[in-house]
């Protein structure tokens, strides 16, 4: 990949021009937050913008103003991670690397000539439907785990100077996750947008919480299974702790086998992780059964070697 040439073309539009602001998004539907690229902090999606435009899950007015800055040769302040790299080293920043990704670079001409105020369907989407989770990992928190919420509501927050993982602080920032049993207007907007979004996707990744505990994750998987001709080139991925009940692992494997063996997606990637072994792993990932974790990994590998 000729990153020097890519940087030159991007700079020809503007010194702050980055395709990720259009082509990539992570949406925390359980909290109503969105951001394009992982460096800028997520910002709240105004519910009023979703009423007539469900794609405002990505195309917020706030984000459109940042796109306008980029098209006008400016550098949005929220992207200062990349400006610091570019101004203080000879390295290629993530502005260059992300713009060079296959889900972005083929959109260069279309994006550079676009109207900053136009809605744009991203090609790389990562989404969290719910914080429902059966683990309370030490490095996580209530924003991402319902098990954490249950524990803090029962025993109280940590008595630290900064009120670590305080429910009150999360509520004050308007980032308290919706319960899966509650009506969630952000999830509702997603499903309104989905039929228009899905055909344009290059990569779709589902995270959580624990995604396999989310009813909407299964709804996505079933939609892809039942509509095989819309986007068979999709790269589909899912994060999972592999600690859910056996019936959910088996359900995932049944759908995964259908999607991959019948060419309904280009690829399906299952992401999982574990930072230690044995009892140490179970201590840091509260709720983990270490032996079951490896049993499920071997089960998945065996299933896909058929």
Answer yes or no: do 141 and 209 share one domain: no
Answer yes or no: do 234 and 293 share one domain: yes
Contact 65/163 with Cβ under 8 angstroms? no
Cβ neighbours of residue 171 under 8 Å, at least 6 residues apart?
Answer: none
Binning pLDDT at 50, 70 and 90, where does residue 83 land? very high
Residue with tokens 């369907």: 121
Answer yes or no: do 110 and 141 share one domain: no
pLDDT at 304 over 90: no
Say if 292 falls within a structural domain: yes
User: Which tokens sit at 155?
Assistant: 């025993």
Q: What is the pLDDT of residue 156?
A: 84
Answer yes or no: do 113 and 147 share one domain: no
Binning pLDDT at 50, 70 and 90, where does residue 306 land? low
End-to-end CA distance of the chain: 35
Q: What is the pLDDT of residue 53?
A: 98
Say if 149 falls within a structural domain: yes
Binning pLDDT at 50, 70 and 90, where does residue 222 land? very high
How do 235-239 and 203-207 pair as beta strands?
parallel
Q: What is the pLDDT of residue 177?
A: 95
- Distance between CA 45 and CA 62 in Å, rounded? 9
Binning pLDDT at 50, 70 and 90, where does residue 163 land? confident
Cα angle 146, 147, 149 (rounded to 5 degrees) comes to 60
Q: What is the pLDDT of residue 67?
A: 98
Answer yes or no: do 29 and 90 share one domain: yes
Secondary structure class of 267 (helix, strand, coil): strand
Q: What is the pLDDT of residue 305?
A: 72
SS3 content of the chain, % helix, strand, coil (to 5): 45, 10, 40
DSSP H helices in 128-277: 146-155, 167-172, 185-197, 215-226, 246-261
Identify the bridge partners of residue 43 per DSSP, sorted by sequence position.
Answer: 34
Number of Cβ within 10 Å of residue 193's Cβ equals 20
Domain end marker among 88, 117, 146? 117
Q: What's the Cα-to-Cα distance from 189 to each of 30, 58, 64, 98, rounded to whole Å?
A: 12, 11, 19, 27
Q: What is the pLDDT of residue 293?
A: 98
Answer yes or no: do 217 and 258 share one domain: yes
Cα angle 246, 249, 252 (rounded to 5 degrees) comes to 150
Residue with tokens 């919706």: 178
Contact 201/126 with Cβ under 8 angstroms? no
Say if 197 falls within a structural domain: no
Range of the domain at 92: 3-117
pLDDT at 278 over 90: yes
What is the rounded average pLDDT for all residues in the chain? 96
Number of Cβ within 10 Å of residue 2's Cβ equals 8
Residues constituting the chain: 306
Q: What is the pLDDT of residue 162?
A: 79
Count of domains forming the chain: 3
pTM: 0.95
**Burial of residue 91, with CB atoms counted within 10 A of its CB: 0-12 exposed, 13-18 middle, 19 or more buried:** exposed
């Amino acid at each position: 990949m000729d990153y020097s040439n890519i940087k030159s073309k991007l700079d020809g539009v503007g010194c702050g021009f980055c395709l990720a602001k259009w082509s990539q998004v992570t949406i925390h539907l359980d909290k109503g937050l969105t951001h394009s690229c992982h460096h800028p902090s997520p910002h709240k999606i105004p519910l009023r913008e979703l009423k007539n435009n469900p794609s405002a899950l990505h195309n917020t007015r706030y984000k459109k103003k940042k796109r306008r800055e980029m098209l006008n040769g400016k550098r949005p302040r929220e992207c200062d991670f990349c400006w610091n790299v570019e101004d203080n080293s000879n390295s290629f920043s993530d502005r260059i690397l992300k713009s060079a990704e296959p889900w972005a670079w083929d959109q260069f001409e279309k994006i550079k000539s676009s109207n900053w105020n136009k809605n744009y369907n991203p090609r790389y989407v990562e989404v969290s439907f719910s914080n429902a989770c059966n683990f309370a990992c030490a490095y996580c928190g209530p924003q991402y785990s319902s098990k954490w919420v249950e524990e803090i509501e029962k025993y109280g927050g940590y008595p630290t100077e900064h009120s670590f993982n305080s429910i009150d602080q999360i509520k004050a920032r308007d980032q308290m996750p919706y319960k899966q049993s509650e009506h969630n207007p952000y999830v509702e907007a997603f499903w309104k947008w989905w039929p228009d979004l899905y055909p344009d996707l290059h990569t779709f990744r589902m995270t959580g919480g624990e995604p396999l505990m989310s009813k909407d994750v299964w709804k996505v998987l079933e939609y892809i299974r039942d509509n095989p001709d819309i986007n068979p080139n999709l790269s589909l991925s899912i994060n999972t702790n592999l600690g859910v009940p056996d019936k959910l692992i088996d359900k995932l494997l049944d759908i995964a086998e259908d999607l991959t063996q019948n060419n309904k997606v280009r690829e399906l990637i299952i992401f999982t992780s574990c930072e230690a072994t044995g009892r140490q792993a179970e201590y840091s990932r509260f709720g983990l059964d270490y032996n079951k974790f490896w049993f499920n990994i071997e089960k998945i590998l065996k299933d896909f070697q058929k």
